[in-house]
Amino acid sequence: MDLKDKTILITGSTDGVGRVVAQRLGAGGARVLVHGRDAARGKAAVVDIEAAGGKAEFFAADLASLAEVRRLAEAVREKTARLDILINNAGVGTAGQNAKRQVSADGYELRFAVNYLAGFLLTSELLPLLKASAPARIVNVASAGQQAIDFSDVMLTRGYSGVRAYCQSKLAQILFTVDLAEQLKGSGVTVNALHPASYMNTTMVRQAGVTPWSSVETGADAILNLATSPDLEGRSGLYFDGLRESRADAQAYDSTARQQLRSLSLDLVGQAASKDQHS
């Protein structure tokens, strides 16, 4: 894919694999919309991309707040008339063995909120822009760590573990990918998900107390494959393990589970919107 004149938004691109992806896309001629929570790190990422001859802008937002996700989408719509690629990369890790249950600004379990629900809402908000820019691509950075969603306790109020929360949120991303691909048939917008690489040398992995065994460069190769490879043109609803097409947990291919998740997600982002309006 020729990246010249392409506009690409990457969430969580001030650090780790997201930053490497942003740098490579900028070096390839794309206009990169960098997202993160920290303005200093965001500015540094933009400076790096520009120093290599690329074009970049920084957008600050905390994805633990659905109001901020909406503001991010609004800011992107104000700044650009097109969006060729959206990479939902931002995430919260397992936080290691002794992770305590945390909640988002909206009162939802934190990993489900940041890793899945924020991307669900951001994608929904930016779909008109992606469709207007078709052919366009959405890439959801998930994980090989997957655990079936327990719809009787999605917010994990019982028997909480950070690993379970992380694995559930990552599988939710894949259910969303398969579901959205069906909805987008014929629109010129494709959506695929992947596990970039195992235990990359990122802050998230180190915070989990794990010794990294693969590089962010390897993970970036896999993300860029879905974002830019001509081989993925027109292909949608897929899950990749690194550079290989693979199969996710069986729940991803259960249409009833996908419908349940979609209904729940619309309800949760709707509740958050009405809460924003009354606050």
Catalytic residue among 108, 116, 160, 166: 166
Please confirm, yes or no, whether 239 is among the known catalytic residues.
no
* Pairing of the two strands 244-246 and 239-241: antiparallel
Candidates 241, 211, 218, 244; CA nearest to 21 is 218
Whether residue 114 contacts residue 94, with contact meaning beta carbons closer than 8 Å, is answered with no
- As a whole number of angstroms, the distance between CA 169 and CA 147 comes to 8
Dist CA 198 CA 206 (whole Å) = 13
> Phi/psi zone of residue 20: left (φ > 0), alpha (ψ -120 to 50 degrees), beta?
alpha
- Dist CA 175 CA 1 (whole Å): 27
In contact, 57 and 108? CB cutoff 8 Å: no
- Side-chain-side CA neighbours of 213 within 13 Å: the count stands at 2
| Edge-first strand listing for the sheet containing 244-246 | 55-60, 31-36, 7-10, 85-88, 136-141, 189-195, 239-241, 244-246
CA 243 to chain centre: 18
Of 11, 22, 7, give the one whose Cα is nearest residue 81. 7
The terminus-to-terminus CA distance of the chain in angstroms comes to 45
Q: Which position has the token pair 């995430």?
A: 91
- The two tokens of residue 234 are 């027109």
Residue positions annotated with a catalytic role: 166
